Amino acid sequence: MKVLLEEEVLTDNNLSAKFNRDLFQTSKTLVINLMSSPGAGKTTLLEKTVAALGEEFRIGVIEGDLATEKDADRIRALGAKAVQINTNGGCHLDARMVAKVLPEFDFEEIDLLFIENVGNLVCPSGYDLGQHHKVAVLSVPEGNDKIPKYPVMFRRTEMVILNKVDLLPYLDFDVQMAIEDLKGINPESKLLQVSARTEDGLDEWFAWIRAAYKQIEAQ
């Protein structure tokens, strides 16, 4: 019965994900689903992205959190449109929650939509939101064992942003080991080394976004 219910929930989710995907495709909006543990730095990465690319692209953000509007407020302070979803205890966003808030955006006026998922390295990985790309943020202080210990997340994301590399001198994190662990679990995945705080490495992230946007435009 539990299994049946889960299948039902995922079938429902896939219907909403298809609805979202069709809308994103029609409006040629690049959509990125950003996932990580709590505190890995998703919102800081988005703040820096909005600040750097805000003139080049029209950016919208959906913020997923159990509670508070804190993250949406941080994005709004930079002048981008941000809609907060509060899951009231739920450990991930699903496609229907996203579909419900899409009417708050004018998709003719948006080039990039970032969906910042609930801080959780487990639950969000199973839910297709209709995005073009799934990106996981892993931060140096979380330690080297996270890729093998949370394989589902890293198997299902096509890029890992290794954040907080400015803390490498103070911690025992082995970047080469992370690269190899990721290769073992997901050979297609790419790992970018950045510090959203000091802005080190962000140019490569911005270049990746530009290339992904061009692909969407060309379709």
Identify the residue whose tokens are 């801080």: 119
Query: Would you say 1 or 218 has its CB closer to its own copies?
Result: 1
Q: Which is nearer to its own copies, 118 or 160 (CB)?
A: 118
Q: With CB under 8 A as the contact rule, which of the stretches 49-57, 95-103, 164-172, 202-210 interacts with its own copies?
A: 164-172
Site for its own copies contains 37 (CB under 8 A): yes
By CB under 8 A, residue 166 contacts its own copies: yes
**Gap between the terminal Cα atoms of the chain:** 42
**Binding-site member from 38, 158, 174, 184 for its own copies (CB under 8 A):** 38
Total residue length of the chain: 219
Q: For residue 123, how far is the Cα from the chain centroid? A: 13
Place of tokens 């809308």: 23
SS3 147: helix
Sheet holding 159-163, edge to edge: 81-86, 59-65, 112-116, 30-36, 133-139, 159-163, 190-193
Among the listed residues 3, 26, 89, 218, the single contact to its own copies using CB under 8 A: 89
Taking CB under 8 A as the rule, does residue 95 contact its own copies? no
Q: Among 102, 151, 168, 208, which residue interacts with its own copies (rule: CB under 8 A)?
A: 151
Interior/surface letters 92-105, b for 16+ CB within 10 angstroms, e for the rest: bbbbbbbbeebeeb
Among 15, 67, 77, 177, contact with its own copies (rule: CB under 8 A): 67
Query: Which residues of the chain form contacts with its own copies (CB under 8 A)?
Result: 1-2, 5, 9, 37-39, 65-68, 70-71, 89-91, 118-123, 139, 141-143, 145-146, 148-152, 164, 166-167, 170
